[in-house]
Amino acid sequence: MKIFKQGQFSRLPDAILFDTDNTLYPYAPPHVAAHHAVREKVTRTFSIEPETFDRAFSEARDQVKNRLKHTAASHSRLLYMQRMLEIIGLGSQVLLALDFEQTYWRTFLSNAVLFDGVKDLLDDLRLLGIPTAIVTDLTAQIQFRKVVYFGLDSYFDYIVTSEEAGFDKPHKAPFQIALEKMRPKGDCIWMIGDNPVTDIGGAREKINAVTLQKIHEGIELGKDPNSPDAAFQEFAEIRQLIFNLRDGA
């Protein structure tokens, strides 16, 4: 672990917020597998070229994101599938849109694997009485499904999605709602996430959190206003930090 602001780590936190996607598990491998499964199914179903699917899906995703920016629905695979079918010229095709969305998430979950040490860290925090919450973008249903799939539903005290909050991070609403639910006894709040803008910069600016950035393949260390107070690669490093703070080391 690299600690950039030693003074931020003088005592145990009063509560810890966690991002989900690409923080508790690597996002890219399940996403690539899921997208490929949908691509194969769509091209086989309609006998179209893969390039036709790629163009239509990319345009559909961009349109949905531009229209619904900074909301949970802007990440909806169901809306992507619906609009993709419309762009191809097939109309909304709601049954197929639902089927393709389920193919995506079924494949995604079957290829998603937690980072080592996540549950061990959460066990440590529970034993120390440190409350925890997930603060995550996307819709509640799929994020709840992920938590249950990973077997984390009994590990976290609370979860806040951007669907519940009405805004994606780095808006203050998701962070603030999490704190309202947790009611920490003090003001030392840690935020653990991968995204330097939404997780690190957002949590520092909106709730004055101590920020810890998860670094792995594809993730660059945040800079300037989005620079973390500490960066780590393995969750075992946070466990050691917690132990050191507990023991006054």
Taking only the tens place, the pLDDT of each residue in 16-36 is 999 999 999 999 999 999 999
At 249, the pLDDT band (50, 70, 90 cuts) reads: low
pTM metric for this prediction: 0.93
Of 43, 77, 110, the residue that ends a domain is: 110
Regarding whether 152 and 68 lie in a shared domain, the answer is no
What mean pLDDT value characterizes the chain? 96
* 41 burial type by CB count under 10 A (0-12 exposed, 13-18 middle, 19+ buried): middle
Strands ordered across the beta sheet of 158-161: 2-3, 230-232, 210-214, 189-193, 15-18, 132-136, 158-161
The last residue of a domain, from among 110, 139, 156: 110
Q: How many domains does the chain have?
A: 2
Q: What are the residue numbers of the active site?
A: 19, 21
Q: Pairing mode, if any, of strands 230-232 and 2-3?
A: antiparallel
For the segment 149-176, the average pLDDT, to the nearest whole number, is: 96
- Residues 185-240 pLDDT 10s: 999 999 999 999 999 999 999 999 999 999 999 999 999 999 999 999 999 999 99
Domain carrying residue 100: 29-110
Report the 10 Å Cβ neighbour count for 129.
8
Compare 17 and 90 and report the one with higher pLDDT. 17
